[in-house]
Amino acid sequence: MSLATQSYNPPQQVVLLPQTQQLKALMTIIRDQNTKRADFVFYADRIIRILVEEGEDYHGVEFQGHICGVSIMRAGESMEQALREVCRSVRIGKILIQRDEETALPKLYYLKFPPDIASRYCLLLDPALATGGSAIKAIETLIEHGVLEEKILFLNLLSCPQGIAAVVAKYPAIKIITAVVDHGLNGKKYIVPGLGDFGCRYFGTDK
């Protein structure tokens, strides 16, 4: 388990999963670069299920209303099945955000939302929160489509202080539900120690 998680004092917008021995064991397995893809998927799915259940519990306790999921493609799509298993018949949208090579800023390339998304609480799905650029763009897009900021819950397995700070500074009314907070970012803006490219490891593809 990341030492950052043990010492990190998250802002009030962050819900950090209880750092149980089970979660520590699961994270150790998926961090291991030698873990086979089938095992990576199996244990990552278990963590995702815990995250979704935490999000659903928060939804049930704190407010009432219909929900939907929105996955940030493509890695976020790995979290859709767990959401479907926990929230029966849930509607799921998709959003594709990539860095513009000319401006180096996140750019929206594709979206497909439920037509009534503005009336729903939204679980935004992405396994990692690094710089926060993609998350901020996704949140901005949801708000432009009528979703209230306070109705957005951002779920991720892995985060870092810089990304959390960037997101909550821009959107202080949302909630971030994360399994682990790592030390920070390296010179290439990758989370350290991290766990590699989640999407590539989960779907079994090269970058």
Q: How many domains would you assign to the chain? A: 1
Q: Give the domain range for residue 92.
A: 3-203
pLDDT tens per residue, range 119-145: 999 999 999 999 999 999 999 999 999
- Token duo for residue 175: 């909630």
The distance from CA 176 to its chain's CA centroid, rounded to whole angstroms, is 8
Q: Is the pLDDT assigned to residue 102 strictly greater than 60?
A: yes
Which positions ≥6 away from 92 have C-beta within 8 Å? Answer: 68, 69, 70, 71, 80, 83, 84, 114
Which positions ≥6 away from 51 have C-beta within 8 Å? Answer: 17, 79, 82, 155, 156, 157, 177, 178, 179
| CATH code of 153's domain | 3.40.50.2020
| pLDDT class of 63 with cuts at 50, 70, 90 | very low
pLDDT tens per residue, range 88-99: 889 999 999 987
